[in-house]
């Protein structure tokens, strides 16, 4: 392996290349999703699967339904036979007819906002029986947590849940004597989870959000200057009326003052650490650096920040992109990052790479000792977060897909415009940034690998030099 050095210099910024509109999921993709869920239910010997939804935890529900229940709870009951039924509150009941699949609907006012009318006047357990929960059935309940050490099956009998207790109690009552309610989040995530890989249509669909976040990040980076407010930077990030899947961050200087988590009237000041983040279904972009033009303008005692933090971080980031491939284990990828950027020295604590979908963090096969294998169709955030005492962080978090030759051919055939964008991004990353992408890595946005460490110099960014 050649020696890699990280330099900073005057290089062109990436192009803004988000498509004019998102690619819709096809009916065929929805049918494939249904079949994958039913097959997984069979593997886990489930008679019925109940999928929970609220605004923060909607991905599993949306995977089949195509919509989420916003400010109400909601359930989708899937029978092993393939029949389905929504259980919805007052203000989402009319969405059942708009869903991407054919399903009955049961009105459950208990899922509605406080003090809304209850015209049904039936206990939730009875409504769940109407929705298809059978007495004596083995019922899987899918929330959003596995309640297990990474790579292990849910603990014990799988009877720990992250869903509201009143729903769990009603399900147990509906299943009755001889029935069982088990945690079935592993239908969707973790080893064998149906949502951990994507087909060509899904990758095209999710690329829109990843690229939209990336374009917003470029606009925000170009707007960073002393005196600009956090709110003005936030306006560059959140766009096109899309629903963000994380809190939008535009923070300069001390964070969370007065417990505030949102962009404020605070302005960028010379020498401030700056954090910028925006995410949509399909991908997130995040950057962390200093509001300075050169290393000499960094705060006293931090002028070696580039050598101490940025260069090691960027080296690990680049090697991640050059090494990841179908079939390698998550443990191997974890060990690579830990060798290049040792946790004991650089303070990172999360998974150095995790899967994304409608939500910003789906799950991760990348953890210490992981035997889970990287699979074709996985969408990754390159989420390595150094935290070195006495210094601000460095971040160039972006989204990539991992795809084998067969999947790449499908994308090229069915989505030639997307394929052209991917190839242009690859050319920039390899030709301008000097990162030799793994042949199975598809950049989902133009800013993969793009990091300006000194934010007041809009022309200088990191790149790799080989010796």
pLDDT in tens, 9-51: 999 999 999 999 999 999 999 999 999 999 999 999 999 999 9
Assign 152 a pLDDT band (cuts: 50, 70, 90): low
Q: Give me the domains of the chain, ranges plus CATH numbers.
A: 4-23+196-466 (3.90.230.10), 45-183 (3.40.350.10)
- Report the distance separating Cα 447 and Cα 456, nearest Å: 18
Which pTM does this prediction carry? 0.96
Res 155 pLDDT > 50: no
> Span 410-435, mean pLDDT?
98
- Report the distance separating Cα 394 and Cα 267, nearest Å: 20
Q: What angle do CA 409, 410, 414 make, to 5 degrees?
A: 120
What pLDDT shows up at residue 430? 98
Nearest by Cα to 278 from 266, 263, 291: 263
What pLDDT shows up at residue 159? 82
Q: What angle do CA 21, 26, 28 make, to 5 degrees?
A: 165
Nearest by Cα to 231 from 257, 267, 255: 267
pLDDT in tens, 86-108: 999 999 999 999 999 999 999 99
pLDDT in tens, 178-235: 999 999 999 999 999 999 999 999 999 999 999 999 999 999 999 999 999 999 999 9
């Amino acid at each position: 392996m050649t020696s890699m050095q990280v330099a900073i210099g005057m290089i062109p910024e990436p192009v803004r290349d988000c498509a004019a509109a998102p690619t819709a999921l096809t009916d065929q993709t929805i049918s494939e999703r249904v079949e994958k869920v039913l097959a997984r239910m069979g593997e886990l010997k489930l008679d019925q699967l109940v999928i929970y939804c609220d605004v923060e935890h909607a991905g599993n529900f949306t995977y089949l339904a195509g919509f989420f229940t916003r400010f109400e709870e909601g359930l989708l009951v899937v029978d092993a036979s393939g029949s389905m039924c929504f259980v919805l509150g007052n203000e989402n009941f009319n969405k059942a007819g708009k869903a991407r699949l054919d399903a009955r609907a049961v009105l459950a006012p208990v899922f509605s906002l406080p003090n809304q009318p209850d015209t049904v006047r039936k206990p939730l357990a009875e409504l769940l029986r109407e929705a298809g929960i059978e007495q004596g059935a083995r019922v899987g309940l899918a929330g959003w947590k596995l309640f297990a050490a990474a790579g292990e099956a849910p603990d014990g009998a799988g009877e720990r849940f992250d869903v509201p207790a009143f729903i769990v109690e009603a399900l147990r009552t509906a299943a009755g004597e001889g029935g069982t309610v088990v945690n079935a989040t592993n239908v969707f995530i973790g080893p064998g989870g149906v949502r951990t890989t994507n087909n060509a249509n899904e990758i095209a669909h999710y690329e829109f959000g990843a690229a939209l976040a990336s374009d917003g990040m470029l606009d925000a980076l170009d707007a960073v200057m002393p005196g600009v407010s956090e709110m003005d930077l936030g306006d560059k990030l959140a766009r096109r009326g899309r629903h963000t899947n994380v809190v939008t961050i535009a923070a300069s200087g001390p964070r969370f003052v007065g417990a505030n988590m949102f962009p404020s009237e605070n302005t960028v000041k010379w020498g401030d650490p700056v954090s910028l983040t925006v995410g949509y279904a399909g991908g997130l972009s995040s950057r962390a650096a200093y509001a300075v033009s050169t290393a000499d303008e960094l705060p006293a005692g931090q002028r070696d920040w580039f050598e101490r933090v940025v260069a090691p971080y960027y080296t690990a980031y680049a090697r991640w992109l050059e090494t990841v491939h179908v079939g390698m284990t998550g443990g191997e990828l974890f060990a690579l990052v830990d060798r290049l950027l040792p946790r004991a020295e650089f303070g990172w604590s999360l998974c150095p790479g995790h899967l994304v979908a409608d939500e910003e963090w789906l799950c991760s096969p990348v953890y210490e000792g992981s035997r889970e294998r990287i699979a074709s169709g996985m969408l990754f955030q390159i989420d390595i977060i150094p935290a070195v005492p006495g210094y601000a962080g460095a971040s160039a978090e972006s989204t990539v897909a991992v795809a084998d030759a067969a999947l790449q051919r499908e994308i090229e055939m069915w989505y030639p415009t997307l394929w052209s964008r991917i190839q242009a991004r690859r050319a920039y990353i390899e030709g301008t940034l000097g990162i030799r992408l793994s042949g199975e890595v598809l950049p989902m946005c133009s800013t993969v690998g793009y990091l300006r460490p000194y934010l007041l110099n809009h022309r200088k960014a990191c790149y790799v030099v080989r010796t």
